[in-house]
Structure 1
Amino acid sequence: MIRSAINKNAGSNIGNTMGGGALLRVNPNWARLPLFDRRGWTKARFGDVVENLNKTERNPAEAGLERFIGLEHLEPGSLHIRAWGSVADGTTFTRRCWPGQVLFGKRRAYQRKVAVAEFDAVVSGDIYVLTPKHNRFLPELLPFVCLSERFFQHAVGTSAGSLSPRTNWSSLAGFEFDLPPLDQQRRIAEILWAVDEVVEKNLKEKDANEALYAAAIQSFLFDKANPGIEIKNLCEINARALSETKTDPKFKFRYIDIGSIIAPKVIGDLQTYQFENAPSRARRCVQEGDLVISMVRPNLRAFARLENLDGDCVASTGFAVVTPRNNGFWNASLSCILFTSIHAAL
């Protein structure tokens, strides 16, 4: 779907044409192409080969646009857009995007929000709309450059602001990377999109399995025909907190804030603090296996299970912390029980 959107958009300024108008055709020797023979690669400045579009549509409804895309609609680490808003419900967004263009979230770049537009829309002002400037750089490869670790490190390193750090276009434009010749670009893009296709297939299977699991939980726990099991018998609320007077001011820990949950069940990068310099909300004691559930704006579904903790961690007082009781199967299943759509509705 994404690749067809890219190819559809490629007919304008980012098409499959090489210098002089010759069509970039399939290389019959791809199987023997030395992908990592870098002798033909050239150093490129991002802003020299990529354009940050600022096309606007002041009246998206009158222009026939039905959807808008905000930062909340972009999934961390995924190039696919699975959610959007309806223009009919009202929007203040005016920045225009077309199918095949790359959307990059400039606010809180550490959340790694990059996607490829698959439909016409307007997007948030905190989203850059990117497209190759000319045919030195294939549109099929651009999303993966934006998704690379080095690009994110550059974006985060050039962001300014404390609560909502943002990177700016002039800083992103200065990012330098090695650009392969066009035939290698196309082959590399083919490989990466093939990998993406496999990942997406696995994610769909995972979602199907989770839906089946949730249905089983509903049947076992919430069906009137079955005896009820109370959540309080499976877990306890952890109210332990750091003491203002008894905690060592030099105590060092990683802080789990509400904003650290970048997607349901997904914890992003954590900052390290000493107690004396930590936010006043950094008080909730947590341990391996705990479930943290945001009590602030629950519609955002900021919840996660704490696994593979590296050292001491402290959570925000905006979380409810649930500690499973040591009772085998239910201990492992508690997160699924609490995170089902049934519990969310409650």
Structure 2
Amino acid sequence: MAKYRFDQIAINSTEKKKPVEEDRFTYLGLEHLDSGTLKVTRFGSEVAPIGEKLVMHKGDVLFGKRRAYQKKVAIAPFDGIFSAHGMVLRPKEDVIDKDFFPLFISSDYFLDAAIKISVGSLSPTINWRDLKKLEFELPDMDTQRKLAEVLWSINDTMEAYKRLISATDELVKSQFMEQFFYSEKYQLVPISSVVDRKIKKKKDISKDFEEIRYIDISSINNQSKRVTGYVEFPIDETPSRAQQVLEKGDILISTVRPNLQNIAVNPYSEENVVASTGFCVLRCEKCLPEYIWGVITSEAFTNAMCEQASGISYPAVRDSDILQYLIPDAPIEIQEQFAAFVRQSDKSKF
């Protein structure tokens, strides 16, 4: 295999424009890109984005250069504008096959090498001047074409499974609404009455720990609803927003842009995992986690939060808006029936 510098493989398009009103319909930000898929399923902004943005054309490969450890790569589905925190990449077709190119950019081989040259601590970013010097080995063009054909076939199969999983999730949501919200036999109570709000603060962390593991909005994949990682900081250098000490199983709800449903469950058992104040943390006390998860993933909850949100560019709700949301006060044994259904659904998805 031949070795090439990255600037021999790809063109980094730096064409920019200042958005006008109609550009908000074809805007893609990093928040619209999901790790693990080249497909874009969300786009647009409620208002015209502020500041210059990159011009993208249908078929361009979009790469999130900020917090690249999230591994966000996608193919532009239309002409439009893209976040300046990303790169718009195009293949040099004398070196790399155009169908193989997006698969190469989304590969661990490329991304792991790129992440190593990120600079900065809070929002590590990849600079083109460093990226263009990286060297990669590529197979010959015939091999690339054959690989692309096989890999795209695999990708199509994966996307089909994702659609099945999504359909299973919709079935769970439907079951939840049928069992609880469409029933009038349960009294309504605020979420605050069934969760523990005694969340420790960063200052309460044992002095034995030298580092903080920080989870913020960028740590969540809002498609899979999972925490994808954390950023480590020396305990005396953590961001001011790193305040809420988490326990394993805590449910995190972003209070910013509630329409995006940036929610997840903390998977870590360590005692030095801290969440941003941009999350409302729900720790189940008098209810089952599956039940609260059913609440916050429902369309009714999302719509209610969107109605309460204030702000234009980054509409947000308060913790109190979430905690005051009324839910059916279903007995634990009834919640357990729904939880069993969720667990069976999870087995099917697995």
TM-score range, shorter chain: 0.7 to 0.9
Give the aligned residue type for 2:76. Answer: A
CA drift at 1:211 = 1.5
Which structure is larger by alpha-carbon Rg, 1 or 2? 1
Aligned to 1:313: 273
Give the aligned residue type for 2:298. Answer: T
* Alignment partner of 2:136 out of 167, 177, 195: 177
Aligned to 1:239: 198
CA drift at 1:216 = 1.8
CA distance in 2, matches of 1:224, 1:246: 43
Aligned to 2:48: 90
Aligned with 1:85: secondary structure?
coil
CA distance in 2, matches of 1:332, 1:259: 24
Deviations 1:284-303 (A, max 9, x none): 23222221223455445332
Give the aligned residue type for 2:79. Answer: D
CA drift at 1:59 = 7.9
CA distance in 2, matches of 1:66, 1:276: 42
* Alignment partner of 1:53 out of 1, 13, 26: 13
Give the aligned residue type for 1:236. Answer: V
Give the aligned residue type for 2:7. Answer: G
Aligned with 2:58: secondary structure?
coil
1:157-176 matches, cutoff 5 A: 157-176=116-135
Contact 2:219–2:228 (CA under 8 A) maintained in structure 1: yes
Aligned to 2:321: none
Aligned with 2:290: secondary structure?
helix
Going from structure 1 to structure 2, the CA distance change for 1:273 and 1:235 (only over 3 Å counts) comes to: farther
Deviations 1:99-138 (A, max 9, x none): 2221112222122111112222222322322112233210
| Residue 290, structure 1, aligned to residue 290, structure 2 | no
CA distance in 1, matches of 2:18, 2:141: 37
Instruction: Number of aligned residue pairs: give it.
Output: 302
Aligned with 1:219: secondary structure?
helix
CA distance in 2, matches of 1:245, 1:82: 41
CA drift at 1:54 = 3.0
Aligned to 2:229: 269
Aligned to 1:193: 152
CA distance in 1, matches of 2:18, 2:203: 52
Q: TM-score, normalised by structure 2?
A: 0.74
Contact 2:242–2:275 (CA under 8 A) maintained in structure 1: yes
Going from structure 1 to structure 2, the CA distance change for 1:311 and 1:82 (only over 3 Å counts) comes to: same
Aligned to 1:121: 80
CA distance in 1, matches of 2:94, 2:202: 61
* Alignment partner of 1:149 out of 108, 123, 127: 108
Q: TM-score, normalised by structure 1?
A: 0.75
Aligned to 1:323: 283
Q: Unaligned 5+ residue runs, structure 2?
A: 305-350
Aligned with 2:36: secondary structure?
coil
Going from structure 1 to structure 2, the CA distance change for 1:220 and 1:54 (only over 3 Å counts) comes to: same
Aligned to 1:341: 299
Give the aligned residue type for 1:302. Answer: N
User: 194-203 or 286-295, which moves further after superposition?
Assistant: 286-295
Give the aligned residue type for 1:322. Answer: L
CA drift at 1:309 = 4.2
User: 283-292 or 234-243, which moves further after superposition?
Assistant: 234-243
Q: Unaligned 5+ residue runs, structure 1?
A: 1-40
Contact 2:25–2:43 (CA under 8 A) maintained in structure 1: no
Contact 2:33–2:40 (CA under 8 A) maintained in structure 1: yes
| Residue 42, structure 1, aligned to residue 37, structure 2 | no
Going from structure 1 to structure 2, the CA distance change for 1:196 and 1:216 (only over 3 Å counts) comes to: same
CA drift at 1:276 = 4.0
State percent identity of aligned pairs: 31
Contact 1:151–1:175 (CA under 8 A) maintained in structure 2: no
Going from structure 1 to structure 2, the CA distance change for 1:81 and 1:227 (only over 3 Å counts) comes to: same
CA distance in 2, matches of 1:225, 1:326: 21
